[in-house]
Structure 1
Amino acid sequence: MYEKDDPRSSLTTATAPHPGGGAAIAAAQYFDLHTAPIVRAQNVVLVHTEARAGDELDNGTLEGELAIVVTASSPAFTVLTDDGATKVDAPGLVVVPPGASRISMHGDGPLVRLMEAVEPVWRDRAVNAAAYAEDHPRVALLKRWPEPVGKPGVRFYPLSEVPEDPRRFGRIFRTRSFMVNFLPEQDGPRDPRRLSPHHHDDFEQLSLAVQGEYLHHIRTPWLNDSTAWRDDEHVRLGSPSVAIIPPPTVHTSAASAPGVNQLIDIFSPPRGDFSEKPGWVLNADDYPMP
């Protein structure tokens, strides 16, 4: 499934079989975030905001952590909580502890926030909320991982402190509820002879395109009920967009624009197989495994 030089080829899940059982396989979902700025998966709500200087983004009072995905196009901002203010002016991942918080924007540009799907302030605002009126039986429900080490507070993990390394897969951070992988920028289209079709047994993948354009290839395995079989999908999305990829579909995504392309992969709960690889999760000392 993976080329020999792909870091994922050594994962314990790389050759895992499709899970058994007769539960229906959910359809993949695709969203242009300009027109659908709030979407959800089984365990996570994604909020995309085209912010303007002076905006005050109210996150509400959350039961779980808030994660803020900061890209090269994101403006500077300040996170305000009861414990004080934290200014962020570089790409990376921000993790805000449970409770009330808001974000004061200092410029124009995109910002992506992640909340647990159980948050009543956000779960029903997603454009695809009806798709999760009932839990998807093939997706493992979120059980928060252990509390972070140290004093509670806003944590910022700038990408500038962790250069890209071909020995690991992207730049991965995790929280109690999420895993976010900043994949490298790619110049031009991906080589169609070097794709990496694979599947996940029991978790969804959110592939967030923040630059360029991607062609998402999805194949739904055949179950006994042939009336539920689906044709292979080859869906092209620009940016910003997100593809929600259900288990156990076989999938791979290919950059397709002539300029710079970048994906950020999001998982909830955090992936155990990525977490087991030494050095892959860059903030593992802060967020221990179960």
Structure 2
Amino acid sequence: MYDASDPRAALAAARSAPAPSAFAGAEIGRFHAEPPQEDGPEGRTWYLRGQNFLVAHTEARPGAVLRRQAQPDEYVLLLMRPDTPARITAGGQVETVPGHSLVIVPPGDSGIALPEGGAVTRLFSTRSADLAARCANAESYAAPHPNIPPFEPWPAPPDGFRIRAYPLDVPPEPGRFGRIFRCTTLMINLIDPMDGPRDIRKLSPHHHDDFEQGSLALDGSFTHHLRWPWTPDMTTWREDAHVECGSPSLIVIPPPAIHTSRGTDAGLNQLVDIFSPPRRDFSEKPGWVLNAADYPMPR
């Protein structure tokens, strides 16, 4: 249920899905308050996963180089801070990218050099098995979570895989929801930043039938409200959850939990939503996906 001013109120109705008989809980990583999974010469890195995607958030030291070898598919680099430039090498291509950018890195070997260090976030599919094993919640996905179909990547870009960098200085536009980018494996939505707490009279409780949503907090604090459906089998019922997270943090919201998130800090509150594979309903809205011309939709 969306407020009438929310662009998502105009989305087509979701197709009906079979009634679920089992539910998963939310996965929560409070990177700001928990020890990292890695602490080494390149910096400190926290890992948390969903079924199809994982997040690696790094507080990089100056001069750090984050490398991937034989990466099986594309991944996304998020450089939120203007003072965090990067030099990216992949597939014989070298690109120097300013801070406040989103970068799609191709499969294969790659390196991300961070001369100034700083906070950076990488987003992968869980086909990166070595990274999935490092996640703080790896054991939670020893068996697949319910209500999520097998992962299928979207079509490759017609002009081939390469480094693609997109500036994040995209002003809000009436009728468009956030700043959305997609690749073959992921969809990233940088929600328009909010100054001050969210109006509690204009929340957006909704659910997804068959995909998880990752909500990555990079500034401010959030309370994530979740409610699971009741079924005839009372043993599957779950209590409502009201999860408080500072930044940086990640919550993975399972289907079909009803959910909404509320920024609570007096200053900047910045949330980034993550989906894997990309969402068709968002992709079908003209002008919503800012790099749609680079990545075709499935037929």
What TM bracket, shorter-length normalisation?
over 0.9
Do the aligned partners of 2:82 and 2:98 also contact (CA within 8 Å) in 1? no
Task: State yes or no: 1:110 paired with 2:119.
Answer: yes
Aligned AA (1:230): R
Aligned AA (2:251): A
Query: Deviation per CA, 1:47-77, whole angstroms, max 9, x where unpaired?
Result: 0000111111112321100111121266111
Task: State yes or no: 1:142 paired with 2:140.
Answer: no
Q: More deviation in 201-210 or 145-154? A: 145-154
Q: What is residue 72 of structure 1 aligned with on the other side?
A: 81
Task: State yes or no: 1:54 paired with 2:52.
Answer: no
Superposition CA RMSD, Å:
1.5
For the residues of structure 2 that align with 1:163 and 1:281, how far apart are their CA atoms? 14
Cα drift, residue 227 of structure 1? 2.1
For the residues of structure 2 that align with 1:137 and 1:254, how far apart are their CA atoms? 26
Flag the 1:33–1:13 CA change in 2: closer, same or farther, 3 A. Answer: farther
Q: What is residue 41 of structure 2 aligned with on the other side?
A: none
Query: Deviation per CA, 1:125-169, whole angstroms, max 9, x where unpaired?
Result: 111111111112301222111111214310001112x32213110
State the secondary structure of the residue aligned to 2:129: coil
Aligned AA (2:28): Y
Cα drift, residue 223 of structure 1? 1.8
Task: State yes or no: 1:97 paired with 2:106.
Answer: yes
Question: How many residues are aligned here?
Answer: 287
Cα drift, residue 218 of structure 1? 0.2
Do the aligned partners of 1:26 and 1:246 also contact (CA within 8 Å) in 2? yes
For the residues of structure 1 that align with 2:126 and 2:86, how far apart are their CA atoms? 24
For the residues of structure 1 that align with 2:93 and 2:295, how far apart are their CA atoms? 22
Do the aligned partners of 2:78 and 2:102 also contact (CA within 8 Å) in 1? yes
State the secondary structure of the residue aligned to 1:121: helix
Cα drift, residue 80 of structure 1? 1.5
Do the aligned partners of 2:93 and 2:163 also contact (CA within 8 Å) in 1? no
Using structure 1 for the length normalisation, give the TM-score.
Answer: 0.95
Residue number among 176, 186, 191 corresponding to 1:168 in the alignment: 176
State the secondary structure of the residue aligned to 1:157: strand
Task: State yes or no: 1:29 paired with 2:27.
Answer: yes
Task: State yes or no: 1:186 paired with 2:197.
Answer: no
Cα drift, residue 25 of structure 1? 0.8
Do the aligned partners of 1:60 and 1:121 also contact (CA within 8 Å) in 2? no
Q: What is residue 208 of structure 1 aligned with on the other side?
A: 216
Do the aligned partners of 1:255 and 1:261 also contact (CA within 8 Å) in 2? yes
Q: More deviation in 261-270 or 144-153? A: 144-153
Flag the 1:280–1:187 CA change in 2: closer, same or farther, 3 A. Answer: same
For the residues of structure 2 that align with 1:268 and 1:152, how far apart are their CA atoms? 18
Cα drift, residue 118 of structure 1? 1.7
Aligned AA (1:20): P
For the residues of structure 1 that align with 2:83 and 2:54, how far apart are their CA atoms? 19
What percent of counterpart residues are identical? 46
Do the aligned partners of 1:74 and 1:110 also contact (CA within 8 Å) in 2? no
Do the aligned partners of 1:44 and 1:268 also contact (CA within 8 Å) in 2? yes
State the secondary structure of the residue aligned to 1:285: helix
Q: More deviation in 27-36 or 166-175? A: 27-36
For the residues of structure 2 that align with 1:13 and 1:124, how far apart are their CA atoms? 36
